[in-house]
Amino acid sequence: MSILQKLVLASGSPRRIELLQQAGIEPDRVLPADVDETPLRAEHPRSLAKRLSKEKAEKALASLSTEDDYAPGFVLAADTVVAVGRRILPKAETLDDASNCLGLLSGRSHRVYSGICLITPGGKLRQRLVETRVRFKRLPRDEINAYVASGEWRGKAGGYAVQGLAGSFVVKLVGSYTNVVGLPLYETVALLNGEGFKVHASWASARP
């Protein structure tokens, strides 16, 4: 693979890795970039998603530049934010986080925003923002408790994983499904292709 075709994913999310692999993209390196994800005062959810994806990409690039064997490639980062109106829901880390999120989402519509940031080998920074609208059914307390007991919510924005048990909560979804999983594939592939990363180059070798 040429230097320019190298891809660094600035995320350790198994979901994002799996989604890239689904599109035939195998990152050359996974380099999680931890940043402070605390929203700024009065920050809109969409602005937060864009800002954090940019900060993650830039932090990963800075980390790479200190390595002796660093060679320019593409750096891809993403951040997903779940919000009810302007209220940003946390990435659930505790039982109370998950229970509170699900209680808030019960019977209501919410929005899932993903910011994507790509830094090219030439240093250009490109961003996209993707929005999906999701409506949940009304969740009885025993169903919330059962889902919380499953542990699927841990580390998930909004306290749920749509690709798992929580898929049964969804009454309506408008927009990108993969965005809700954690990485909007259409927009990510379009961004990579548009900047010269040959996404389809390995497709022929992936035939069963």
What's the rounded Cα separation, in Å, for the pair 94 and 91? 9
Query: What was the pLDDT predicted at 3?
Result: 43
Task: Give how many domains the chain has, as a whole number.
Answer: 1
- Closest to 132 in 3D by CA, of 174, 85, 87: 174
Report which DSSP code applies to 40: P
79 assigned to active site: yes
Q: What is the secondary structure of 171-186 as a DSSP string?
A: EEEES-HHHHHT--HH
Domain CATH code at residue 50: 3.90.950.10
Q: What is the pTM of this model?
A: 0.92
What's the rounded Cα separation, in Å, for the pair 169 and 78? 25
CB atoms within 10 A of CB 28: 13
Point out the catalytic residue in the list 79, 96, 97, 142. Answer: 79
Pair of tokens at residue 74: 């593409």
What's the rounded Cα separation, in Å, for the pair 176 and 133? 9
Show the domain range for 118: 3-206
- Closest to 61 in 3D by CA, of 119, 125, 11, 124: 119
Query: What was the pLDDT predicted at 206?
Result: 60
Query: What was the pLDDT predicted at 4?
Result: 53
Helix (H, G, I), strand (E, B) or coil at 156: coil
Residues in the chain, pLDDT under 50: 1-3
Query: What was the pLDDT predicted at 154?
Result: 95
Query: What was the pLDDT predicted at 72?
Result: 78
- Closest to 79 in 3D by CA, of 47, 102, 107: 47
